[in-house]
């Protein structure tokens, strides 16, 4: 087998320097992420105006529930697939690549179908006891779980094979485009009357997700390396299980941390508050979408650089990613803070104006999130997922406790304060853990940052 460094040069040299490769991936990812945010924002606007704050709140609560339940069905495998496929490709372990893809998708499909059945039975059994008025919408939304779980696996596989842009295409462009087309088509056909039922919006989302999953599967099939097709599958089930378990907890805690506020608002203050808050969340998401791009682009490369023991490049890419994310987030945060109320009123309607305070709080928290850079990815891609888990556990405990304390007192502003504080605490802990475990600075300050001249000499 060729030496590791020669193999890395072979992987990167055919497509130009690492800097050029990352620039292309970043540009494509930025375009896809922007289009996804724009398309989903447009869809949210149509849904909010057509359904009203309460109906939109039911839809948002159903989607939050689906996102929460989809995580355990992934079994922690998507992040593991990115890391291991990148490593297996470097070492030309084609049999293990094939085995991981086969068993991983089989396990995720089985777990997602089981989750649908169990969750549907539980919701149905609790309908009368808890007076769940919108139980049919929640049960219908459960059908999205297998589509989303398998879509995450397919995306991870393509990104692990270093097809970063193709890995994002179905979820970031195809699904939101089809979803928006269906919603707008129904709006025009019905002329906006009567009010759209949450069940119809969920059904439209299901159709769009199915189309995206089918197209994504075709893309992955065509991009699997030929040696993988010819290789006999090999399995390391115990090793994969041990590595995936902490990643499962990390993904679960992350989703709990991001969806707790919506679910607790719906439970404690009703669907209307959940709908208004979700509109504020949509605005705040724009502040942090640059960090999402950075993580998607850098994850496979971070894993390979760690395998190669190239600490200088790891620091360079971490600082570059954090600075890029912060530069993009800063003006967006300022806009949300200064003009939150007019934006919400103009875009979503007068019923959503009271979410401006929550929007400002969440925008500040997301700016801090961007400044701390790809700290989470650095830990996950270098085998320190246990440390990510510890930081996330602290964050979710703080989030749940503060939501329970502040939502009854301050409604949606309380939810925003709770989520913002927990997000800042979580990111600070991640940065400290990256410094301890890897000796790197994940933030935009770039302590130990490699200068341009040195980076050029290293092929960056």
**Least confident window among 8-22, 109-123, 178-192:** 8-22
Residue 14 pLDDT exceeds 70:
no
Tell me, yes or no, whether 242 lies in a domain.
yes
pLDDT per position as a tens digit, 248-294 = 776 777 677 777 888 888 888 888 888 899 889 888 988 887 887 78
Residue 414 pLDDT exceeds 90:
yes
Higher pLDDT, 308 or 314: 314
Q: In whole angstroms, give the CA distance from residue 402 to residue 297.
A: 33
Q: Which residues contact 195 (CB under 8 A, 6 or more apart)?
A: 50, 51, 52, 55
Q: In whole angstroms, give the CA distance from residue 427 to residue 369.
A: 6
Higher pLDDT, 106 or 244: 106
pLDDT per position as a tens digit, 351-369 = 888 999 999 999 999 999 9
Higher pLDDT, 13 or 350: 350
Quote the pLDDT of residue 15: 42
Lookup: tokens for 124 = 């149905």
Q: How far is CA 116 from CA 2, 15, 70, 247, in A?
A: 46, 43, 9, 22
Lookup: tokens for 187 = 């709006």
Q: In whole angstroms, give the CA distance from residue 45 to residue 56.
A: 10
- pLDDT > 90 fraction of the chain, expressed in percent and rounded: 28
Going by pLDDT thresholds of 50, 70 and 90, the confidence category of residue 20 is low
Say if residue 194 is preceded by a cis peptide, omega within 30 of 0.
yes
- pLDDT > 70 fraction of the chain, expressed in percent and rounded: 88
Specify the number of domains making up the chain.
1
Tell me, yes or no, whether 302 lies in a domain.
yes
Helix/strand/coil (H/E/C) assignment for every residue in 127-158: HHHHCCCCHHHHHHHCCHHHHHHHHHHHHHHH
Tell me, yes or no, whether 317 lies in a domain.
yes
Whole-model pTM? 0.70
Task: Return the closest-CA partner of residue 304 out of 17, 77, 88, 81.
Answer: 88
Using the structure block, give the residue that is written with the tokens 């875009």: 347
Residue 13 pLDDT exceeds 60:
no
Largest CA distance in the chain: 68
Cα angle 440, 442, 446; round to 5: 80
pLDDT per position as a tens digit, 165-212 = 788 888 888 999 999 999 999 888 887 677 788 899 999 999 999 999
- What is the distance of C-alpha 415 from the center of its chain? 20
Tell me, yes or no, whether 232 lies in a domain.
yes
Quote the pLDDT of residue 448: 60
Query: Is 442 within 8 Å of 384 (Cβ atoms)?
Result: no
Q: CA 117, 119, 124, 129 torsion: positive or negative?
A: positive
Tell me what the mean pLDDT of segment 301-309 comes to.
Answer: 82
Q: In whole angstroms, give the CA distance from residue 103 to residue 101.
A: 6
- In terms of DSSP H, where are the helices of 339-444? 340-348, 356-371, 375-381, 385-438
Q: In whole angstroms, give the CA distance from residue 202 to residue 66.
A: 11
Tell me what the mean pLDDT of segment 83-97 comes to.
Answer: 82
**Least confident window among 13-17, 310-314, 332-336, 400-404:** 13-17
DSSP state of 76: T
Residue 11 pLDDT exceeds 50:
no
Tell me, yes or no, whether 6 lies in a domain.
no
Q: In whole angstroms, give the CA distance from residue 356 to residue 335.
A: 12
Structural domain including 430 reads 22-457
Quote the pLDDT of residue 23: 61
Quote the pLDDT of residue 27: 67
Lookup: tokens for 419 = 């989520």
CB atoms within 10 A of CB 407: 24
Q: What is the DSSP string of 155-219?
A: HHHHHHTT-HHHHHHIIIIIHHHHHHHHHHHHHHHHTT-SPPPHHHHHHHHHHHHHHHHHHHHHH
Higher pLDDT, 378 or 239: 378
Q: Where are the beta strands (DSSP E) in 62-123?
A: none
Higher pLDDT, 134 or 408: 408
Query: Is 8 within 8 Å of 17 (Cβ atoms)?
Result: no
Tell me, yes or no, whether 400 lies in a domain.
yes
């Amino acid at each position: 087998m060729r030496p590791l460094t020669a193999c890395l040069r072979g992987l990167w040299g055919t497509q130009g320097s690492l800097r050029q490769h990352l620039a292309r991936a970043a540009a494509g990812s930025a375009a896809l992420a922007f289009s996804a945010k724009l398309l989903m924002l447009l869809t949210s606007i149509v849904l909010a105006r057509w359904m009203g704050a309460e109906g939109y709140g039911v839809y948002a609560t159903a989607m939050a529930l689906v996102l929460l339940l989809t995580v355990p069905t992934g079994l922690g495998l998507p992040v593991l697939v990115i890391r291991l496929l990148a490593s297996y490709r470097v070492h030309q372990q084609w049999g293990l690549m094939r085995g991981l893809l086969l068993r991983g998708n089989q396990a995720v499909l089985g777990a997602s179908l089981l989750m649908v059945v169990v969750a549907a039975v539980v919701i149905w059994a609790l309908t009368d006891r808890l007076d769940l008025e919108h139980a049919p919408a929640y049960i219908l939304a459960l059908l999205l779980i297998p589509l989303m779980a398998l879509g995450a696996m397919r995306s991870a596989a393509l990104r692990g094979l270093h097809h970063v842009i193709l890995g994002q295409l179905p979820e970031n462009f195809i699904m939101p485009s089809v979803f928006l087309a269906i919603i707008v088509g129904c709006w025009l056909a019905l002329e906006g009357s009567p009010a759209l039922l949450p069940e119809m919006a969920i059904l439209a989302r299901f159709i769009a997700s199915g189309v995206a999953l089918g197209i994504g599967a075709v893309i992955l099939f065509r991009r699997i390396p030929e040696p993988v097709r010819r290789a006999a599958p090999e399995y390391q089930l115990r090793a994969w299980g041990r590595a995936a378990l902490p990643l499962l907890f990390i993904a679960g805690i992350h989703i709990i941390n991001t969806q707790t506020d919506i679910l607790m608002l719906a439970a404690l203050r009703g669907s209307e508050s959940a709908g208004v808050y979700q509109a504020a969340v949509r605005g705040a998401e724009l502040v942090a979408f640059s960090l999402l791009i950075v993580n998607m682009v850098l994850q496979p490369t971070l894993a390979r650089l760690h395998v190669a023991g190239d600490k200088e490049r790891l620091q360079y890419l971490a600082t570059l990613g954090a600075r890029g994310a912060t530069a993009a987030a800063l003006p967006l945060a300022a806009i949300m803070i200064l003009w939150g109320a007019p934006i919400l009123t103009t875009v979503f309607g007068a019923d959503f104006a009271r979410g401006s305070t929550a929007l400002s709080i969440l925008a500040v928290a997301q700016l801090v999130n961007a400044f701390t850079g790809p700290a989470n990815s650095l830990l996950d891609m270098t085998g320190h997922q246990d440390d990510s888990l510890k930081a996330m556990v602290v964050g979710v405990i703080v989030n749940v406790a503060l939501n329970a304390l502040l939502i009854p007192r301050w409604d949606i502003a309380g939810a925003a304060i709770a989520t913002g504080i927990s997000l800042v605490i979580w990111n600070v802990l991640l940065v400290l853990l990256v410094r301890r475990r890897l000796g790197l600075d994940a933030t935009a300050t770039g302590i130990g940052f490699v200068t341009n001249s040195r980076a050029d000499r290293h092929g960056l």
